[in-house]
Structure 1
Amino acid sequence: CFASMAGIENLAELGGQIRHRVLQWVGIPTCVGIAPTKTLAKFCNHLAKRYPDHFGGVVVWLDWNESVRLRALRSQGVDEIWGIGGRTAAKLAAQGIYTALDFVRADTATLRRRYGVTVERTQREMQGIACDGLHPEPQTRQNLVRSRSFGTCIETPEALQAAITHHISSGAEALRRDGLAASAVTVFLHTDFFREEAPQYHKSLSRNLAVPSADTVILNREAQNLLENVYRGGYLYKKCGIELHGLKPAGHVQTDLWQPEAVNPVMEAWDKINRRYGRGRLKLASELLADDWKMNRDRLSLCYTTRFADLLVV
């Protein structure tokens, strides 16, 4: 989570108050990094996490003098920079760029030529030059994926049908909440790649919709047809999922001539009931075909702060 600290004084004190409040209200220990750019703030947050006793969970970049900043950059590997993955770090190491300080001091033109504008922006952000500001409004989704690994490998089509229905229901609900509609549906499944001795199979299939939709029933009908085509018997499946793509605002969809209503009142009622009485109160029947596809949740913590049934009794 990022926030602008412009015009605020006593940043270290404020960072400590943030940590205390989150711990008190949510029960999650956190650290705070404050700097002129988002990438530097993430770097400061990393330092605060790595050395909690030394910094007290809060690092403010501008509170340090130049020598301390250089020492901090020199102490961390280049792979600790937000946006530098393992593969890029290995390539940078081949150039003699091992630490964050090496990266900051590297030739910018060479970095851009070899790794593209994204790495160049990352370097400039580490130098204190803001290239990616805050985004108060979330960007519009382009696609939506729902998938889960199974608690145990399954082979029956009924279990896969139930899992696909569950994922479609969750995805369609998210689309309606954001006022979006999907233009295409993809279904994918695969076996356990880590069981090399077992037969392996992975497949995905997509289909465009005649009319973009966020209707659970319509999307599930298409998804089940796709599942029927990608399913092969004789395999132990470990994971399946769906992707809804080609998303566009529901109000800008050209509807079917024979179905003039853009918003299905049944889905509106569906969402109201689930919001009032709890998610999953209303389900499609195909989601009840099997339950052995669900992931293991034996060690799941109780929802002490969000569910009345899980409140602690003293």
Structure 2
Amino acid sequence: MQEPKPCFALVDCNSFYASCERVFRPDLARVPIVVLSNNDGCVVARSADAKPFIKMGEPYFQIREKLVQHGIVAFSSNYALYGDLSQRVMTVIDSLVVNSTAYSIDEAFCDLGGMTLPLERLGRQIRSKVLRYTGIPVGVGIAGTKTLAKLANHAAKRWQRQTGGVVDITDSVRRDKLLKVCDVSDVWGIGRKMTEHLTGMGINTAWDLAKADPWTLRKRFSVLVEKTARELQGVPCLEMDEINSPKQEICCSRMFGTRLTAIEPLREAVAAYAARACEKLRAQNSLCKKVRVSIRTAMFNPDEPKFARGVICELPYPTDDTRVITKAAVAALSELFQEGFKFSKAEILLMDLRQPNEFTADLFAPAQSKGDGRVMHVLDEINAKWGRGTLRTGRVPVTPEWNMRRELKSPSFTTRLDELWTVR
């Protein structure tokens, strides 16, 4: 019996953050929306009807009048709401396909190999059920490789009225037609600088890249560009587990809601960021051997003294223990801190990450005990069930003074009992 040909779908939520804000606000269904970054700094998401007026990354303080002029509603980022709705979207997708892998908070790759239902019909079923069960609109791209599926999804969104939000290019004729009308910059993994290099070689469209010699691309650029070209030709080069390979570094950094001049609130912030970074570390089953701690002032106020410095500290052994990493980070902060500055940001960077079996242990060196690993597992389970921060280190306060500013935040409709949706 012949094995089924590889087939993948990319399900991508449309303007995800803005769509989340609309789920519990039907009055905003036809109102343009933007979502702001931490501390209401700049625009990080826009609904489709806001894009003609507002650029990504524009500072909020500069565009307030423009928002009023065009009737655009701004929201502070509500990550608790977005994370919960993302989980609901992924659960619906999982129920409709054999195998799916979340690529980001608003995207999932699905393995459709061997499925008997007509693929376009399956794509429309996914789109319909996700919208019905979560209120989030999605686009679906279907193809023989993940790079092509990503491009098909781009087309599904770009020509939504004509396609109904679903594009299937498993047929080679339809695939080639799409490749010829898409710019090379539309291809997954081809950034601005790479686009400049490729256009200099006469590679202007996705079709040109698919027809380019893969070995030449590998020698001139990288194996990733070679794989991209082969995937555009219909040759699968990326496995499902390659999409979410473990990160080599994990960073957690935030701008403070208010400037900090004392070391104690800085210690609280560093401890909180270390705890969050450790959650991510354990989620990918990695251990860390080095931590970089850095703090800085605002760099654009000419009237304030500037300070930006970081220090790397070696951990006693490879670990994912929040307590060990927090202790090292707080100690490093004592080396960094200086009086007389108004600090606006701290950063924790976990470095030298490896899987547990990738470290060569010294016979006489200390190592993380199995008991410590079990403690961290219980910590994560409790926080997953009852909400992040239910259990935390003693240095992290419940309501810190440095918490980020979110003056335009919508209620956490699905994650807080005191902010449940009410109908009047």
Coarse TM-score class (shorter-chain normalised) = 0.7 to 0.9
- Structure 2: give runs of 5+ residues left out of the alignment: 1-107
Q: Does 1:5 align with 2:130?
A: no
**Which residue in 2 is equivalent to 1:283?**
392
What is the Cα deviation at residue 146 of structure 1?
Answer: 1.8
Code of the aligned partner of 2:154: H
Of the three residues 297, 304, 310, the one matched with 2:413 is 304
**Which residue in 2 is equivalent to 1:207?**
313
1:136/1:142 CA distance change after superposition, 3 Å: closer
Of the three residues 154, 179, 183, the one matched with 1:46 is 154
Of the three residues 5, 12, 16, the one matched with 2:124 is 16
Cα deviations by residue, 1:193-221 (Å, 9 ceiling, x for unpaired)? 45466544332211112233333332222
Of the three residues 123, 126, 136, the one matched with 2:232 is 126
Structure 2 counterparts to residues 45-194 of structure 1, below 5 A: 45-63=153-171, 66=173, 68-135=174-241, 139-176=245-282, 180-194=286-300
What is the Cα deviation at residue 120 of structure 1?
Answer: 1.2
- Provide the rounded CA distance (Å) in 2 between the counterparts of 1:254 and 1:310: 52
What is the Cα deviation at residue 111 of structure 1?
Answer: 2.1
Deviates more, 1:14-23 or 1:145-154: 145-154
TM-score with structure 2 length normalisation?
0.64
Deviates more, 1:268-277 or 1:224-233: 268-277
1:221/1:79 CA distance change after superposition, 3 Å: same
- Provide the rounded CA distance (Å) in 2 between the counterparts of 1:103 and 1:179: 36
Aligned to 1:287, what secondary structure does the other structure show?
A: coil
CA RMSD of aligned residues (A): 3.2
Cα deviations by residue, 1:247-273 (Å, 9 ceiling, x for unpaired)? 455698779889995323765665565
1:281/1:115 CA distance change after superposition, 3 Å: same
Percent identity of paired positions between Structure 1 and Structure 2? 34
Code of the aligned partner of 2:142: I
Code of the aligned partner of 2:405: N
**Which residue in 1 is equivalent to 2:9?**
none
Q: Does 1:292 align with 2:398?
A: no
- Provide the rounded CA distance (Å) in 1 between the counterparts of 2:333 and 2:191: 35
Deviates more, 1:42-51 or 1:185-194: 185-194
- Structure 1: give runs of 5+ residues left out of the alignment: none
Count of aligned residue pairs for this structure pair: 312
1:11/1:115 CA distance change after superposition, 3 Å: same
